[in-house]
Copies of this chain bind each other. A is one copy, B any other.
Amino acid sequence: MTLLSTRRIHTGRVINLDVDHVRFPDGSEGDLEIIRHSGASAVVPFLSDPRGDDPQLLLIRQFRHAADGEIYEIPAGRLDAGEDPAECARRELQEETGCTAESLEFLTTIYTTPGFTDEKIHLYMATGLTRGESAREADEFLTLETVTLSRALQLIKEGEIRDGKTIAGILFAAGFRT
């Protein structure tokens, strides 16, 4: 696929919208809408040894306008300009939960929904947490909830945890933590 031209439709606070004119592999041409996003980091925060028996982890419940209600999420946020994804994960963990992590382990990077955005989220697992003060951004309204891993898996199975990065992060950590 070849990019022939691009048109900026909207420059926003979180996202930009472009319409790219491309040539497809079969030689035809067309327009593709693409949301440009700077990327984000997210972190599965373990309060006890993740390799132990049914460890505890920290979830946040956050009001999301797009979900029209409160949903479960892991701590996450956008990369600042030039910011290292691991630093971003540590910063967001601290801002949203007040916790600092002794150790941060990279899990994987996901495309959240590659049909229309280039957004990537870098997923980490945090261990050795120390609780402190949180420093939330003005438009973040959230509460913290401590759950066991088995309870988190149950919440995923029952459809109570519905956020894509949260499901991917917890199942990844649960499946591959040994």
Find out whether the CB atom of A34 lies under 8 angstroms from the CB atom of B65: yes
Judge whether A26 is part of the interface by a CB distance below 8 angstroms. yes
Find out whether the CB atom of B168 lies under 8 angstroms from the CB atom of A164: yes
Q: How far is the CA of A64 from the CA of B115 in the complex (A)?
A: 7
Find out whether the CB atom of A110 lies under 8 angstroms from the CB atom of B163: yes
Given A110-B164, A172-B167, A26 contacting B66 (CB threshold 8 A): no
Q: How far is the CA of A39 from the CA of B33 in the complex (A)?
A: 16
Find out whether the CB atom of A159 lies under 8 angstroms from the CB atom of B109: yes
Given A33-B12, A65-B22, A113 contacting B117 (CB threshold 8 A): yes
Given A24-B141, A113-B113, A171-B168, A118 contacting B156 (CB threshold 8 A): no
How many protomers of this protein does the assembly include?
A: 2
A57 to chain B minimum Cβ distance, whole angstroms, is 16
Closest to A20 in B: B65
Q: What chain B residues lie within 8 Å of A71 (beta carbons)?
A: 111, 114
Q: What chain B residues lie within 8 Å of A40 (beta carbons)?
A: 115
Find out whether the CB atom of B67 lies under 8 angstroms from the CB atom of A156: no
Report the contact-size class of chain A (Cβ under 8 Å from the partner).
Answer: 35 or more
Report A48-81 residues with CB < 8 Å from chain B CB.
Answer: 63-68, 71, 73, 76
Given A65-B20, A66-B34, A171-B172, A111 contacting B15 (CB threshold 8 A): no
Judge whether A175 is part of the interface by a CB distance below 8 angstroms. yes
A residues with a Cβ closer than 8 A to B are 1, 3, 9-10, 12-15, 17, 19-20, 22, 24-26, 28, 30-35, 37, 40, 63-68, 71, 73, 76, 108-121, 138-139, 141, 153, 156-157, 159, 162-165, 167-168, 171-172, 174-176
